[in-house]
Amino acid sequence: MQFPDWVIFIASILMIGISALQSSKDDVMSAFTGNNSELFRNKKVQGPDVFFNRAMLIISVLFFAMILWSNNIDRFFM
């Protein structure tokens, strides 16, 4: 395994962990009943959810970049 592959492996584990720690944004009962009265209400993300959202965004971009690099590494160096 090369460097991009290790980064992809670590990033995928971090993405699974962060997604498990994030709180759900909707009530479960409103999903089953179809009641979305708060669907278009402006809600500001606060607390640890801000950190989790930003961390997920950064790790996702890193994950995508490393996959592109890993798939094209043979073309660049050989």
At 21-65, the pLDDT tens digits run: 887 665 556 656 666 555 556 677 778 888 999 999 999 999 999
C-alpha 26/C-alpha 34 separation (Å) is 11
Q: How far apart are CA 5 and CA 63, in angstroms?
A: 10
Please tell me the pTM assigned to this model. 0.70
pLDDT of residue 66: 92
User: Higher model confidence: residue 24 or residue 8?
Assistant: 8
Task: Identify the DSSP state of 40.
Answer: T
pLDDT of residue 47: 83
Residue 22: CB atoms within 10 Å: 14
Q: Tell me the helices (H) and strands (E) count for the chain, helix number first.
A: 3, 0
